[in-house]
Structure 1
Amino acid sequence: MATAPTTSSTRHTSARGDQHRLPAIDLSVQIGGRTLPNPLMTASGCAANGKELHRFFDVSQLGAFVTKSVMGGPRSGRGTPRMAETPSGMLNSIGLQGPGIHAFVKDDLRWLKSVGARAMVSIAGSSSGEYAEVAAVLRASDAFDAVVGVEVNISCPNVANRGLVFACDPLAAAKVIALVREKLPRDIPVLAKLSPDVTDIVEVARSCVKAGADGLVMINTLLGMVIDTDRLRPQLAGVTGGLSGPGIRPVAVRAIWQVHAAMLEGRLPTVPIVGVGGVRTGDDALQMVAAGASAVQVGTATFNDPRAPHRVLHELAHALATRGFPGIHDAIGIAHTRLDPQR
């Protein structure tokens, strides 16, 4: 398996990030009515369903553990090679491989509950009906009390609509969110994970919120491609893949900024934003918070630093404390108040 570029992630393991104690500031965040003890989460697909990372740190210490996207039935995924490095990240073409929702709730969700983790379950589907079915099975699970939210991965092709990705169509995205919302209790937040591969991400965000999304996750991977210059053919068996890693962070920060600005202007209701895309350090996470994110996910960085989510939590906490913030809420969206009108 290819790993993320070794851009010296260990270099960012500063003394302050390795401190065992978090500074005495309020790190709690509200996501759709649920209170999480801190804003750090894993990113879906980068840490399986918890057991692998738990060898390196206690996953219950995170605000939430986001699972790999699960569909109705088991899937073998796409052919190999599935991963390719880029100068500032990596491409993946896994194809939502997984055991299916029934096996997930029986094994993985029960395990997450057993270690005290707060589970943010990522669900996917090839039709709007499949999303609803997955949500219904999840709700019926005897480990459902470990779930603090459902992340709806709408960056999947809609087989009923000639393969159009749900997240690229405001109406299709809204339909999925509405169906999932109907299947879950009102106290379980539903978060729509948005794709950056759209002309107007604010429009898609508005549709999702109006359909019942309690929050937004931004952004999913960007569609990319690598050519093998020795064989002069696509390096991935699936031809294209999702680009992740530090190269997409500016895109994620821009998307968070645009949607939060639209909320401030009253163009769509205010809901929490969870930032994701290329976060490796506490300062990276702070950029997303300043742009408008209430919480932050760490994904690709775990490939060469399995403790990255835990480390980034400490680095973000110290970054907030050293800047004089009594809590994370005081920093959310602060960059919008510091625009220089003369610039």
Structure 2
Amino acid sequence: MVALYPGPIEVGGIQLKNHLLLAAGILGTTGASLARILQNGAGGVVTKSIGPSPKVGHPGPCLVVVDGGIINAMGLPNPSTAFVDELAVLHGEPVIVSIFGGTPEEFRTVAGWFVGKASGFELNLSCPHAEGYGAAIGSDPALVEECTRAVASLGVPTWVKLTPNVTDITEIGAAAERGGADAIVAINTVKAMRISTALRRPVLGNRFGGLSGKAIFPIAVRCVYDLYESCSIPIIGCGGVSTADNVIEMMMAGASAVEIGSAIIDDISIFATIAEDLYSPDGIDAREIVGCAHA
């Protein structure tokens, strides 16, 4: 396997300690948990998605473990503006705040709370199980462009997280780029569900959810590959990454960095574990392999 030279990098206008980031929605609800992930080797962290008003989320069960992954339907629970105080302990750290809203104006309002307190924003235009938010907006190129422009106009690095649950993800990526996105994150979870044959009803309280974990890695690789062909801004690969070889594969598809989420369930120190295999003092510059599978 190819080894990379260690050290800080810059992706989409944000300085990171390495190529490995915590994905949104995983241990990102408090400043303490985010700090813990950074201490365990992450090069940057993305918070839980924060919206214009507090939400309690969907009724349980909200998560079910399946072969090769996890299906969740959290419903974007969040404390809204109260979350600002959680960032105080993370001053100077590479923290990207995930935000959501129902309109471009709501996206800009939420982002405004964190100007000067976060390294950048990640627009959640991809959650598949929150009515009126996430993928409900992120499947419309015009709305994606408008929401991106509303936040990017604040002058803070803006990443846009895309949903795979569309006919053509490159169309959505192009819309984000037109709106002024500094980077694209691909992908969020894939629409999924399970039914209890004993109870004769869906397992999740919301009935439907989003699948994450190793099972969606090939889907994520394909989406990154397609976006690299159609967009000129950096791509952060996300979806099923659990090994150093997965990171290299994502990069060869076109990713400049990766986000890791579900793999934390098996190993809270997954970032350090992967870094041990990924980096070497005699490794190569990652830019040598980003997109090399397109040659």
Normalising by structure 1, report the TM-score.
0.79
After superposition, residues 9-28 of structure 1 pair within 5 angstroms as 25-28=5-8
Per-residue deviation, residues 199-258 of structure 1 (Å, max 9, x unmatched): 111111001101111100000001111001111110000000110000000000000001
The residue number in structure 2 matching 1:152 is 123
2:228 maps to 1:260: yes
CA distance in 2, matches of 1:168, 1:247: 23
Seen in structure 2, the aligned counterparts of structure 1 residues 55 and 216 have a Cα distance that, compared at 3 Å, is: closer
Seen in structure 2, the aligned counterparts of structure 1 residues 290 and 276 have a Cα distance that, compared at 3 Å, is: same
CA distance in 2, matches of 1:208, 1:35: 21
Code of the aligned partner of 2:25: G
2:184 maps to 1:216: yes
Q: Cα distance, 1:95 vs. partner?
A: 0.9
Single out whichever of 190-199 and 254-263 deviates more from structure 2.
254-263
Residue pair 1:29, 1:295 contacting (<8 A) in 2 also: no
The residue number in structure 2 matching 1:136 is 112
The residue number in structure 2 matching 1:279 is 241
Q: Cα distance, 1:30 vs. partner?
A: 2.5
After superposition, residues 296-315 of structure 1 pair within 5 angstroms as 296-315=258-277
Match of 1:105 among 74, 80, 84: 84
Seen in structure 2, the aligned counterparts of structure 1 residues 334 and 233 have a Cα distance that, compared at 3 Å, is: same
Residue pair 1:181, 1:213 contacting (<8 A) in 2 also: yes
Match of 2:257 among 281, 284, 295: 295
2:213 maps to 1:251: no
2:152 maps to 1:181: yes
Residue pair 1:45, 1:69 contacting (<8 A) in 2 also: yes
2:167 maps to 1:199: yes
Per-residue deviation, residues 245-295 of structure 1 (Å, max 9, x unmatched): 0000000000000111224xxxxxx11100000011111111101100001
Q: How many residues in Structure 1 have an aligned counterpart in Structure 2?
A: 291
Q: Cα distance, 1:175 vs. partner?
A: 1.1
Residue pair 2:102, 2:137 contacting (<8 A) in 1 also: no
Match of 1:37 among 17, 31, 35: 17
Work out the percentage of aligned pairs sharing the same amino acid: 34
SS of the residue corresponding to residue 165 of structure 1 reads helix
Q: Cα distance, 1:57 vs. partner?
A: 6.2
Seen in structure 2, the aligned counterparts of structure 1 residues 159 and 207 have a Cα distance that, compared at 3 Å, is: same
Residue pair 1:127, 1:158 contacting (<8 A) in 2 also: no
Residue pair 1:177, 1:192 contacting (<8 A) in 2 also: yes
The residue number in structure 2 matching 1:333 is 291
Per-residue deviation, residues 65-102 of structure 1 (Å, max 9, x unmatched): 111111122111110100011111010111111111x2
CA distance in 1, matches of 2:180, 2:121: 12
Seen in structure 2, the aligned counterparts of structure 1 residues 285 and 24 have a Cα distance that, compared at 3 Å, is: closer
Code of the aligned partner of 1:97: P
Single out whichever of 324-333 and 118-127 deviates more from structure 2.
324-333
Normalising by structure 2, report the TM-score.
0.91
SS of the residue corresponding to residue 114 of structure 2 reads helix
Q: Which has the larger radius of gyration?
A: 1
2:72 maps to 1:96: no
Code of the aligned partner of 1:138: F
Per-residue deviation, residues 100-136 of structure 1 (Å, max 9, x unmatched): 1x21111x111222xx531011101123221111011
Single out whichever of 251-260 and 130-139 deviates more from structure 2.
130-139
Code of the aligned partner of 1:214: D
Match of 1:169 among 131, 140, 148: 140
Residue pair 1:154, 1:193 contacting (<8 A) in 2 also: yes
Residue pair 2:6, 2:279 contacting (<8 A) in 1 also: no
CA distance in 2, matches of 1:313, 1:149: 23
Structure 2: unaligned runs, 5 residues or longer: none
Seen in structure 2, the aligned counterparts of structure 1 residues 231 and 57 have a Cα distance that, compared at 3 Å, is: same
CA distance in 2, matches of 1:207, 1:24: 32
Code of the aligned partner of 1:250: P
CA distance in 2, matches of 1:122, 1:24: 28
Q: Cα distance, 1:138 vs. partner?
A: 1.4
CA distance in 2, matches of 1:281, 1:164: 28
**RMSD between aligned alpha carbons?**
2.3
Code of the aligned partner of 1:34: I
